[in-house]
Amino acid sequence: MATRTKDKEPAPPPARPLIAVNADIVAPKNGAAFAKVNVGYLDAIVAAGGLPLVLPPLRKDNLADIDALLNQCAGIVLTGGADMDPRRNGQPLTAVVNPMPARREDADRYLLAKIFERKIPVLGIGVGMQQLNVFAGGTLYMHLPADNPKALPHFDQTGAPHRHMVLIEENTRLDDIYGTQELRVNSAHHQAINQMGKRMRVAAKAPDGVIEAIESTDPNWFCVGVQWHPEADTASALDVQIFDCFVQAAVRNSDGVLAAA
């Protein structure tokens, strides 16, 4: 009589790298403030093979507690949001600037210090790109229509979707990621990079010369920032590649820090 072999247990799914995502803060006029993250970031990370971990914007006195989470993460996505407070960078606050809550900016500055100190793989999106540049010693145009009047429109004042071309610089990491010199992107920003930060370089520009993407000059560090939003519904089909490459770079640099899928 034949002996029935015991069915083998199915193999566990492959582990996913933990990817940190910084949360924004919404402070309504009535009621308590709350933290939020656009699900587009979360979905894009999962689709690229990562597992998102939302980093709460803790109070200033508790920010060091975030280190316990960062120690588990293979990379960080710096999300978009409102403007950086220009007064923190020696520039005046004007009526056209919409500063993010101070609590978020405090938390983001702490994260930036850790990112640069540890050279954690990072993808900065929207204001996240601007934060990378400013932390590296660069500056911003506070309002493109006023500070750079020759610039083409980079946002629609009615809030409708706006798009324009960007020209990717040759021999950059972004060139490797997209594999094309021209890309049509969504655009909803009124600020932009003015002077580049130290050890950062331009990775893409709009046809009017406005900087649309930056990256570290260190070939061993995935540090990329884009002004457009590759996680949004209005993103190009090619934009999935930037999340794919980012997560792959995070895995290579994670020293085996993985979370179970």
CATH number for 163: 3.40.50.880
Q: Which helix (H) or strand (E) holds 166?
A: strand 163-168
Residue 83's φ and ψ, nearest 5 degrees, are -75, 150
* 85 within domain boundaries: yes
Q: Please report how many Cα atoms fall inside a 13 Å half-sphere around the Cα of residue 27, on the Cβ side.
A: 9
Q: What is the pLDDT of residues 241-260, one digit of tens each?
A: 999 999 999 999 876 444 44
Into how many domains does the chain fold?
Answer: 1
Confidence of residue 261 (pLDDT cuts 50, 70, 90): very low
List the domain range (segments joined by +) for residue 143.
Answer: 18-26+33-260
Summarize the confidence of residues 104-116 as an average pLDDT.
Answer: 98
* 12 within domain boundaries: no
Look up the pTM and report it.
0.92
User: Percent of the chain beyond pLDDT 70?
Assistant: 92
* 9 within domain boundaries: no
CA distances from 239 to 127, 148, 156, 216, 243 (A): 18, 27, 21, 20, 7
Q: Which helix (H) or strand (E) holds 78?
A: strand 75-78
* 58 within domain boundaries: yes
* 251 within domain boundaries: yes
* 1 within domain boundaries: no
Q: Which two tokens stand for residue 126?
A: 């929207």
The SS3 call for residue 75 is: strand
**Cβ-based neighbours of 118, under 8 Å, separated by 6 or more:** 70
* 47 within domain boundaries: yes
* 237 within domain boundaries: yes
Mean pLDDT of the chain: 92
